[in-house]
Amino acid sequence: MKKLAFIGRLLFALPFGVMGLNHFLMTDVFIGMMSSFIPGGAFSVLLTGALLILGCILIILNKNLRIVSFGLAGFLFLFIVTIHIPGLFKPDWQISLIELLKDVALMGSAIMIGVFADVFKSDDSIKE
Q: What is the pTM of this model?
A: 0.83
Which pLDDT value is given to residue 106?
95
pLDDT band at 126 (very low <50, low <70, confident <90, very high): low
Tens digit of pLDDT for each residue in 39-93? 778 898 899 999 999 999 999 999 999 999 999 999 999 989 988 898 899 898 9
Q: Which pLDDT does position 35 carry in this prediction? A: 65
2 pLDDT higher than 90: no
Q: Choose between 10 and 120: higher pLDDT.
A: 10
Please state the rounded mean pLDDT for residues 1-11. 88
DSSP the chain: -HHHHHHHHHHHHHHHHHHHHHHHHTHHHHHHHS-TT---THHHHHHHHHHHHHHHHHHHHT-SHHHHHHHHHHHHHHHIIIIIHHHTTSTTHHHHHHHHHHHHHHHHHHHHHHHTHHHHH-TTTS--
Question: pLDDT category, 28, cuts 50, 70, 90?
Answer: confident
pLDDT at residue 15 is higher than 70: yes
What's the rounded Cα separation, in Å, for the pair 127 and 80? Answer: 37
User: Rounded distance, CA 41 to CA 34, Å?
Assistant: 8
